[in-house]
Amino acid sequence: MAKQQDKPNYVTVIQNRRARFEFEILDTIVAGIALLGSEVKSVRLGKASLSESYAMIHRGEVWLENMQITPYELNTLDRLEPKRSRKLLLHKTEIRRLQSELGEKGLTLIPLKAFFNSHGVLKVELGLARGKKLYDKRETIKSRDAERQLQQIKKQY
C-alpha cells in the first residue's frame, strides 16, 4: 500500500509590527484578498511584507496598496509587480460601514496581519486606525517596559 501523504500544515503569518505602535486600533475586520498566479506560493514561503501598506476604498471596492510580495522564484510564465494594488474581498454592507467610518477625521485602514485560515485561504486583518501622537508613543513604550520588568521579577520568584 502506498503511504498517504499528509497535507502540509502552513502556519505562515505576516504581521505589520509597526501598526500597533504607530496607530491606535479602533476596530478590526477580516477580508479575503485576490491574488494572481504564484503570489500565494510566495506568501506561504513568507516572502511578503505589510510594512508601509494601507487600504483604501475606490469606487465601492477596497484595495490594498503597497503590500510587498516577492515574485516566486520558480515561476517562469509571468512576472508580477511586487507592490501592485490588490483587491480585498468584503461584502457591500461592510464596505459601506467602513466608508462611513473613514469619513471621520483622521481615520485610516491599516493591514495588521495576513494569515491562512483553516481552509488554506489567505485572509488579511484590517484595522480601522487613528494615528498616535508622539506622547502616546512614549506612553506605549513606558507601559511595555514596565510590563517587561514585572515579568522579569515574576521569573525570579
Find, among 78, 94, 103, the residue nearest to 32 by Cα.
Answer: 94
Give the model's pLDDT for residue 1: 46
153 lies in a domain? Answer: no
Cα dist. 139→41, 135, 145 in Å? Answer: 40, 6, 10
The three cell numbers locating residue 149? 520588568
Q: Is 155 exposed, middle or buried (0-12, 13-18, 19+ CB in 10 A)?
A: exposed
What tens digit of pLDDT does each residue of 65-122 get? 998 888 888 876 777 777 888 999 999 999 999 998 888 787 999 999 999 888 888 8
28 lies in a domain? Answer: yes
3 state DSSP class of 141: helix
112 lies in a domain? Answer: yes
Give the model's pLDDT for residue 134: 77
Our count of domains for the chain comes to 1
52 lies in a domain? Answer: yes
40 lies in a domain? Answer: yes
What tens digit of pLDDT does each residue of 20-42 get? 888 889 999 999 999 887 888 88
**pLDDT above 70: residue 54:** yes
139 lies in a domain? Answer: no
pLDDT > 90: percent of the chain: 32
Residue 127 binned pLDDT confidence (cut-offs 50, 70, 90): very high
How far apart CA 56 and CA 113 sit, in angstroms, is 16
CA angle, residues 19, 23, 28, in degrees to nearest 5: 75
Residue 11 binned pLDDT confidence (cut-offs 50, 70, 90): low
22 lies in a domain? Answer: yes
31 lies in a domain? Answer: yes
Identify whether the C-beta of residue 122 lies closer than 8 Å to the C-beta of residue 35.
yes
Range of the domain at 93: 13-132
**pLDDT above 70: residue 4:** no
Q: For 36-131, where are the alpha helices, taking DSSP H only?
A: 39-44, 92-102
CATH number of the domain within which 100 lies: 2.40.280.10
Tell whether pTM > 0.85. Answer: no
